[in-house]
Structure 1
Amino acid sequence: MDFGFKGGFTFLNHKYPKHPVDIVWANELNEAACRTYRRNIGEHIHQGDIWEMLDDLPLSADIVIGGFPCQDISVNGKGAGIEGKRSGLYRAMVEAVRRIRPKAFVAENVKGLLMKHHAEALEQVLRDFSSLGYNVTYHLYQSADYGVPQTRERVMIVGTLPTVGNFEPPAPTTHKGSHITAKEAIHDLSKLDEDEGFNHIWSRAKKSPEQGDRRLKADRAGYTVRAECHGNIHWHYELPRRMSMREAARIQSFPDDFIFESKLRETERQVGNAVPPVLAWHVANAVLNALD
């Protein structure tokens, strides 16, 4: 999300210009993810429990962005909803917005938040943010409609102060039938040898009944890359192996010079947990339009 909001990168020969955004403070619990963040985004990442770090927040910022953990809401999760230990962390984001009072905020989560049995949870999240005096809307995005070679659906909750413009979701840049396919995204990596420094490494896990253990289809966008794939990441569309982490990063729309500072399993988690940078770039553009 941060990488996409900053912009200034190229993905599949398409340039995504830098946004007039400076990220001044960020938080993450996972040590390996923090190493990756420092290498690719900046030294302003603060590792630790967000509840213990709220007093270290900056006094002001124009925008607050975040993705509160979705495992309790995901269709692959345990269904605990926002009362779950991890998804309940959205309240930390509400507290951050309350303290900083940004002009706008963006909160990202999985499509599962819109499922019927989570309706009450969604209403609670919207109420909690709205009670702070923000105009709050939400929108379901299909990543493939925005130049991401992956059919990843995510919800973005956006709030703006009444003193700024209304947020309008960015219009899709492409439509089903013209999505970037898996082959278009990763075909040039097929002949490369394994290269740990380039994150071109892959799981040796055998065939498994676990969800997500499917073979990519060359002529369509990739399936959603899961965070908790436990090695059961999708198989390459033609090679007798699973996708490499570099190929998965491509499916997620990371540029090749974004290097993950971790071994295979931690890289799987980071790639799978990420918001596609290209989608984040388009959302950032729309947020900045509202602020203008």
Structure 2
Amino acid sequence: MTVEQVDGFVSITAAARALDVSVDTIRRWNKLGLIKATRDKNNNRLFNLTEIERLQKKLAGDEGDTKYEVLEADKLFEEASCVDLFAGGGGTALGFHNAGIPHVMLNEFDTDAVSTLQKNSDSHELNWNVLAGDVREIDFSTYAGTAVIQAGFPCQAFSYAGKSRGFEDTRGTLFFEFARAIKAIKPKIAIGENVRGLVKHDGGRTLETMLNTLDELGYRVSYRVLRAQYLDVPQKRERLIMFAVRKDLDCPILFPKEKDYFISLRQALKDCPESDGQKYPKRKAEIMAMVPEGGNWRDLPLEIQKEYMKGSFHLSGGKTGMARRMSWDQPCLTLTCAPAQKQTERCHPSETRPLNVREYARIQTFPDDWEFAGKLTSQYKQIGNAVPVNLGYHVGRCVLASLGCIPIADDMEEVEPLQIQG
């Protein structure tokens, strides 16, 4: 049937009527992060019919033309060379490299992560200059003129008493080292990455200080919270990306547009190599075996709920991460540093065990031959803390387009810089 559309979107009632599903079903799919919603001028939710139809087919077993893959371009642009700070296990660095951005230096403090970066640089012929050790000891003037800086700095609070919220206010935090690198190198573009919670951290003042600092250093800046499940990552993971461009350059600020599809866990884990992984103790395995696909502690018998939850049983809140089994037909929930943490369980959809290392890596879109150094707990930590490789790829392509290395594509969106209040 024909329904009135606004820029390809329709109301939730019209979508339900056109596709013969209930309004509640569409609301549930939206809440689960399986379909997106936009808002009209009256703040009513609007939905894309094509996206919902694709979801219906996927839930019925028809994956269509979507597929799991580690995205990779076929050319490196030397003029877009990058310094990567707080590199971890290499998620963003590999994503940028796959997009076409080479690296002149990567810095990481954790010894296992350093070994991971060095090992894969050699085996994948990435030619990465991995600098191990404390970022505070780096002389960034060595890398002056490098086009891009990327940093996934830890989020830390600042002290504001009697201060102007500028560069000096960040001293003593790891963001200050990112800012110090920018001041010394003067890159054309600086990309900062952090968790979504940074938006509201300390009432928004932490992010405000960071944006003010980038403005003070001579950069136009904007930020977006990107949802990985709509950017070729089989995982519901959100990351805040700050995109800063030097003020003397006529380079646009670009962010990737969300796709109208997602990659399911079934697609991601198909033919996944076997690997080591954490194991459940006997009693926990017996309890987890009772949880259905996509379920959690609420699906257990009442007495088992009380046994498993202990004191948490009487606390308020949904506690939906406890005794949580993943769903084959959805993206995975956000990976943590360990798949068997009680508050954020990540149990395999059909086998009663935590997701293993290679499954973790697949979900973060690392290639199967990307090796992680260290003990099992360290490997999980490196993967769980990483930015998904494909998310890094999409951000990297936006960086290249901003620099003029590649054309601005339809799946990129130009945004205006924020008006910074000094």
TM-score (norm 2): 0.57
Residue equivalent to 1:75:
none
Q: Does 1:122 align with 2:207?
A: yes
Unmatched runs of 5 consecutive residues or more in structure 2: 1-91, 122-126, 160-169, 285-307, 310-318, 405-422
Q: Which amino acid aligns with 1:236?
A: H
Show CA shifts across 1:173-214 (max 9, x none).
x23xx311111111323xx6x5xxxxx111124448695762
Q: How many residues align?
A: 258
Change (3 A) 1:186 1:40: same
Residue equivalent to 2:392:
280
CA contact (8 A) 1:29 1:49 kept: yes
Show CA shifts across 1:100-120 (max 9, x none).
000001010000011264401
Change (3 A) 1:56 1:135: closer
Show CA shifts across 1:12-60 (max 9, x none).
xxxxxx51x2201111000000111012234511111111123574232
Residue equivalent to 1:78:
none
Measured in 1, the distance between the counterparts of 2:142 and 2:203 equals: 30
Q: Does 1:3 align with 2:94?
A: yes
Secondary structure of residue in 2 paired with 1:188: coil
Change (3 A) 1:45 1:116: closer
Change (3 A) 1:279 1:55: closer
Mean Cα deviation higher: 211-220 or 148-157? 211-220
Q: 1:220 aligns with which of 330, 350, 362?
A: 330
Show CA shifts across 1:208-267 (max 9, x none).
86957621111100011113x375351101101110110011111111121112221110
Residue equivalent to 1:34:
114
Runs of 4+ in 1 over 3 A off after TM superposition: 54-57, 205-213
Q: Following TM superposition, by how much is the alpha carbon of 1:141 offset from its aligned partner in structure 2, in angstroms? A: 0.1
Residue equivalent to 2:105:
25
Change (3 A) 1:29 1:171: same
Mean Cα deviation higher: 240-249 or 158-167? 158-167
Q: Which amino acid aligns with 1:167?
A: I
Show CA shifts across 1:88-130 (max 9, x none).
2111000000100000010100000112644011100111111
Secondary structure of residue in 1 paired with 2:197: helix
Q: Which amino acid aligns with 2:105?
A: W
Q: Does 1:180 align with 2:281?
A: no
CA contact (8 A) 2:280 2:353 kept: no
Measured in 1, the distance between the counterparts of 2:108 and 2:375 equals: 18
CA contact (8 A) 1:27 1:48 kept: yes
Residue equivalent to 1:204:
279
Q: Following TM superposition, by how much is the alpha carbon of 1:82 offset from its aligned partner in structure 2, in angstroms? A: 4.9
Measured in 2, the distance between the counterparts of 1:212 and 1:82 equals: 33
Q: Which amino acid aligns with 1:164?
A: D
Secondary structure of residue in 1 paired with 2:350: coil
Q: Does 1:62 align with 2:147?
A: yes
Residue equivalent to 1:150:
235
Change (3 A) 1:286 1:43: closer
Among all aligned residue pairs of Structure 1 and Structure 2, give the percentage whose two residues are the same amino acid. 29
Residue equivalent to 2:193:
108
Q: Which amino acid aligns with 2:192?
A: A
Q: What is the 5 A alignment of 1:68-79?
A: 68-70=153-155
Residue equivalent to 1:98:
183
Q: Does 1:258 align with 2:370?
A: yes
Measured in 2, the distance between the counterparts of 1:254 and 1:247 equals: 10
Q: Which amino acid aligns with 2:94?
A: F
Unmatched runs of 5 consecutive residues or more in structure 1: 8-17, 73-80, 195-199
Q: Please, what is the CA RMSD of the aligned residues?
A: 2.3
Q: Which amino acid aligns with 1:269?
A: K
Q: Which has the larger radius of gyration?
A: 2
Residue equivalent to 1:171:
257
Measured in 1, the distance between the counterparts of 2:265 and 2:218 equals: 43
TM-score (norm 1): 0.82
CA contact (8 A) 2:269 2:362 kept: yes
CA contact (8 A) 1:103 1:164 kept: no
